[in-house]
């Protein structure tokens, strides 16, 4: 691999008029490595331009003189014919013919040919002779052919055109390509053509520092100042990727420029914090656009899901493949604190993928960041979470406020309590002990009990069984410590107590809704606590089964719609075990319905009994599968054991519950 200086020295030799080289030079390297930037910078810095009169338009005045370029550049990206390549050269050689330097499918050359010929010229042979005369003025020019592998025309045809310039017109040509991306079906022909045409292959990598400075010219001066102030970290992030891409760098710089100038000015005014944001954006794009990591995966780094999987390897002690990939990414970028980013990754990814800038949400994040905002209005626990970056005065103020809130029992939300507990545990490791008269676990046990009556019923019962690792976009500090786990268990128990209290107060109204408003019966199996859908939460066992049975059989007819909803409730819970407390109740409900059916006259007694038997057979099957005893029943049936009775299922449920 050549350095930029080494490559430039060789090109000095190659393009020199004294060098009679009848071969082309190839610059190769991965996509985005800076090949195009290098070659254009090389010619602009070394060969420059001189004004001259056009040979086609000699009447030009002095102000209209064309720049005399020592090189002509053509990109083969998307090109499907030779004329499209010649168009690009022609426009550069004679810019007075067109106001745009664009590829236009041969139209310019066609118009010029007709102009020179004084008639319509269409045949290939006629065109050929005129084209040769047009390009006689290419003497001493260096032709650059970029994006060879991205051409729509066969590579052998493109290289044949290049060869005609080199071999027949004695012109010098530089080919820019990523050889790795040449299509498999063209590689053999490409190799044969290359052996004949290319005399030197230079694998190049541009200097990231130089390229960065060049790219900063295209963003606002204030943005460039932020990047320059944080340049060392920005370049470390760039170089940490195994395939750094200058195109990705450029895209990130423009996105960053757009973002910080569109949101709360506190972000761009804090240059160090803004620099951290630029690093985060760069790492995401290098990995996702450059390495193919899914955006949906990289956003997990720093979340509770990621850290939980990372701290719970499989039996062999290794991480799942995707978790290992994310762990490697986290470790690769030393300058990024993935668990404490300036803005949530979800907002950055939505912006870079779609261009949609969630200004309101971004400004809310800025307002909640103690490094960017006035502490007034930011919760003390959130300020203290950033303790490594707080001044001594700010730290003391946040600590004082936390202690006052604890003394007044003003912190009542479970999530905030866990944040405070985790911070107290962590800061004690630095010999700053918030609690001195008892253990931290005992303190929060007493604290939780003391706020039961003042707590607002604003909770999610799912938290009782979930793995709590973060809240408010911030991970819980000390979450792996035994003390934190003990406090977390206390919180879970409190949630269970509140959940039970909630459903005891609510169960009668829920039952009324179930039987009086049939359209709302989905609350039995759908689950969204905030929308009053309770499919995941046990509460039916709080109703006397005899009362429920009387509502199920009305006018000697079984409510089959309700039975189907009950069946769906346990079907959705299969394998989750959340409704375990209701399993015993289901058996009691079956007995109550059988007793009520027995009191009916014929034929309703037999009809209701048969329907009950069918529904409860299905529900019992779902319950057996759910508690993991189906395999025991299958084994018993294989030994021709007697059919399982309701009582045996009740006993199995009780035994399973006792074992838990």
Same domain, residue pair 182 and 248: no
Same domain, residue pair 202 and 304: no
Q: Is the overall model pTM greater than 0.75, yes or no?
A: no
* Lowest mean pLDDT across 95-109, 286-300, 361-375, 520-534: 95-109
Two tokens at 416? Answer: 């905030």
* Lowest mean pLDDT across 308-317, 486-495, 566-575: 308-317
Same domain, residue pair 327 and 404: no
Same domain, residue pair 608 and 487: no
Q: Which of 206, 224, 256 is the last residue of a domain?
A: 206
**Confidence band for 47, pLDDT divided at 50, 70 and 90:** low
| CA proximity to 111, closest of 102, 103, 121, 124 | 121
Helix (H) or strand (E) holding 43: helix 35-46
| CA proximity to 206, closest of 4, 66, 361, 404 | 4
Of all residues in the chain, the percent with pLDDT exceeding 90 is 50
Cβ atoms 114, 123 nearer than 8 A: no
CA distance 197 to 193: 6
User: Is residue 502 one of the residues assigned to a domain?
Assistant: no
User: Is residue 111 one of the residues assigned to a domain?
Assistant: yes
| CA proximity to 537, closest of 553, 546, 545, 525 | 525
Residue 496, pLDDT above cutoff 80:
yes
User: Is residue 348 one of the residues assigned to a domain?
Assistant: yes
Same domain, residue pair 196 and 221: no
Print the domain residue range for 451.
380-497
Same domain, residue pair 191 and 277: no
**Confidence band for 505, pLDDT divided at 50, 70 and 90:** very high
- Give pLDDT tens digits for 138-162: 777 899 999 999 999 998 899 999 9
Residue 375, pLDDT above cutoff 80:
no
| CA proximity to 364, closest of 274, 280, 266 | 266
- Give pLDDT tens digits for 200-241: 999 877 788 888 988 999 999 999 999 999 999 999 999 999
User: Is residue 49 one of the residues assigned to a domain?
Assistant: yes
User: In terms of pLDDT, which residue wins out, 487 or 119?
Assistant: 487
User: In terms of pLDDT, which residue wins out, 458 or 411?
Assistant: 411
- Give pLDDT tens digits for 523-565: 999 988 888 999 989 999 999 999 999 999 999 999 999 999 9
Residue 380, pLDDT above cutoff 50:
yes
* Lowest mean pLDDT across 227-231, 271-275, 500-504, 573-577: 573-577
Question: What is the domain count for the chain?
Answer: 4
Strand pairing category for 198-203 and 527-528: unpaired
Residue 586, pLDDT above cutoff 90:
yes
pLDDT at position 242 is 87
Same domain, residue pair 291 and 190: no
Burial of 434 (0-12, 13-18, 19+ CB in 10 A): middle
Helix (H) or strand (E) holding 449: helix 440-450
Same domain, residue pair 356 and 220: yes
Q: Angle at CA 206, nearest 5°, toward 203 and 209?
A: 160
Same domain, residue pair 82 and 188: yes
CB atoms within 10 A of CB 448: 19
List beta partners, residue 145.
Answer: 74, 175
Report CA dihedral (287, 289, 291, 293) to the nearest 10 degrees: 70
Residues ≥6 apart with Cβ < 8 Å to 616? 586, 590
Dihedral (CA of 101, 106, 111, 115) sign? positive
CA distance 299 to 312: 19
List beta partners, residue 174.
Answer: 25, 144
Two tokens at 624? Answer: 């057996």
pLDDT at position 140 is 78
- Give pLDDT tens digits for 161-207: 999 999 988 899 999 998 888 888 898 999 999 999 999 999 877 78
Same domain, residue pair 571 and 422: no
Same domain, residue pair 191 and 216: no
CA distance 271 to 267: 8
User: Is residue 150 one of the residues assigned to a domain?
Assistant: yes
CA distance 135 to 72: 12
User: Is residue 73 one of the residues assigned to a domain?
Assistant: yes
User: Is residue 317 one of the residues assigned to a domain?
Assistant: yes
Over residues 602-616, mean pLDDT: 95
Q: Strand runs (DSSP E) across 294-449, as ranges?
A: none
pLDDT at position 470 is 77
Same domain, residue pair 491 and 595: no
How many C-alpha atoms does 290 have within 13 Å on its Cβ side? 26
User: Is residue 602 one of the residues assigned to a domain?
Assistant: yes
pLDDT at position 121 is 47
In the chain, helix, strand, coil percent, each to 5?
60, 5, 30
**Confidence band for 362, pLDDT divided at 50, 70 and 90:** very high
How many C-alpha atoms does 28 have within 13 Å on its Cβ side? 17
Cβ atoms 561, 518 nearer than 8 A: yes
| Total H helices, total E strands in the chain | 30, 13
> Given the structure tokens 């999610």, which residue do they identify?
460
> Residue 158's domain is classified under what CATH number?
3.40.50.300
């Amino acid at each position: 691999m050549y350095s930029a200086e080494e490559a430039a020295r060789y090109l000095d030799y190659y393009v020199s008029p004294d060098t009679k080289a009848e071969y082309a030079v190839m610059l190769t390297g991965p996509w985005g490595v800076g090949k195009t930037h290098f070659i254009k910078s090389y010619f602009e810095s070394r060969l420059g331009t001189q004004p001259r009169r056009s040979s086609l338009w000699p009447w030009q005045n002095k102000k209209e003189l064309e720049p005399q370029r020592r090189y002509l550049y053509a990109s083969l990206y998307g090109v499907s014919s030779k004329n499209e390549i010649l168009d690009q050269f022609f426009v550069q050689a004679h810019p007075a013919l067109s106001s745009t330097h664009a590829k236009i499918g041969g139209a310019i050359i066609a118009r010029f040919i007709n102009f020179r010929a004084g008639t319509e010229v269409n045949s290939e042979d006629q065109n050929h002779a005129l084209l040769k005369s047009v390009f006689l003025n290419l003497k001493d020019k260096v032709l650059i052919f970029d994006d060879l592998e991205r051409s729509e025309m066969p590579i052998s045809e493109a290289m044949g055109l290049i060869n005609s310039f080199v071999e027949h017109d004695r012109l010098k040509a530089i080919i820019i390509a990523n050889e790795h991306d040449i299509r498999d079906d063209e590689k053999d022909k490409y190799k044969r053509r290359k052996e004949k045409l290319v005399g030197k292959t230079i694998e190049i990598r541009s200097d990231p520092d130089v390229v960065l400075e060049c790219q900063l010219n295209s963003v606002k001066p204030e943005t460039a100042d932020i990047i320059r102030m944080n340049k060392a970290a920005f370049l470390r992030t760039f170089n940490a990727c195994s395939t750094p891409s200058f195109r990705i760098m450029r895209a990130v710089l423009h996105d960053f420029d757009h973002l910080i100038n569109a949101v709360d000015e506190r972000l761009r005014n804090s240059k160090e914090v803004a620099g951290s944001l630029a690093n985060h954006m760069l790492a995401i794009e290098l990995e996702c656009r450059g390495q193919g990591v899914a955006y949906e995966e990289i956003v997990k780094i720093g979340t509770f899901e990621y850290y939980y999987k990372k701290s719970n390897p499989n039996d062999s002690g290794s991480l799942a493949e995707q978790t290992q990939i994310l762990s490697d990414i986290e470790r690769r970028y030393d300058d990024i604190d993935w668990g404490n980013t300036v803005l949530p990754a979800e907002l950055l990814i939505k912006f870079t993928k779609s261009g949609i800038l969630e200004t309101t949400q971004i400004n809310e994040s800025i307002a909640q960041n103690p490094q960017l905002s006035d502490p007034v209005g930011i919760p003390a626990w959130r300020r203290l979470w950033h303790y490594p970056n707080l001044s001594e005065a700010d730290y003391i103020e946040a600590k004082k406020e936390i202690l006052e809130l604890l003394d007044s029992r003003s912190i009542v939300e479970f999530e905030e309590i866990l944040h405070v507990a985790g911070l107290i545990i962590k800061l004690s490791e630095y010999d700053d002990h918030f609690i001195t008269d008892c253990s931290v676990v005992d303190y929060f046990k007493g604290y939780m009990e003391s706020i039961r009556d003042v707590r607002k019923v604003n909770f999610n019962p799912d938290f009782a069984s979930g793995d709590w690792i973060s809240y408010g976009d911030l991970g819980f500090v000390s979450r792996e410590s035994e003390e934190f786990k003990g406090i977390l268990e206390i919180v879970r128990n409190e949630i269970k107590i509140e959940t039970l209290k909630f459903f005891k107060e609510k169960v009668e109204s829920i039952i009324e809704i179930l039987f009086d408003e049939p359209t709302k019966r989905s609350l039995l199996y759908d689950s969204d606590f905030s929308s009053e859908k309770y499919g995941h939460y046990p509460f039916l066992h709080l109703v006397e089964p005899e009362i429920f049975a009387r509502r199920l059989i009305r006018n000697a007819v079984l409510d089959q719609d309700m039975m189907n909803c009950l069946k769906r409730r346990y079907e959705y819970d299969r394998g989750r075990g959340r409704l375990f407390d209701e399993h015993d109740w289901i058996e009691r409900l079956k007995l109550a319905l059988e007793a009520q059916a027995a009191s009916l006259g014929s034929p309703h007694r037999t009809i209701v009994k048969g329907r009950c038997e069918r529904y409860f057979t299905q529900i019992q099957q779902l319950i057996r599968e759910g508690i993991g005893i189906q395999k025991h029943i299958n084994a018993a049936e294989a030994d021709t054991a007697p059919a399982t009775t309701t009582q045996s299922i009740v006993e199995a449920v009780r035994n399973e519950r006792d074992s838990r």
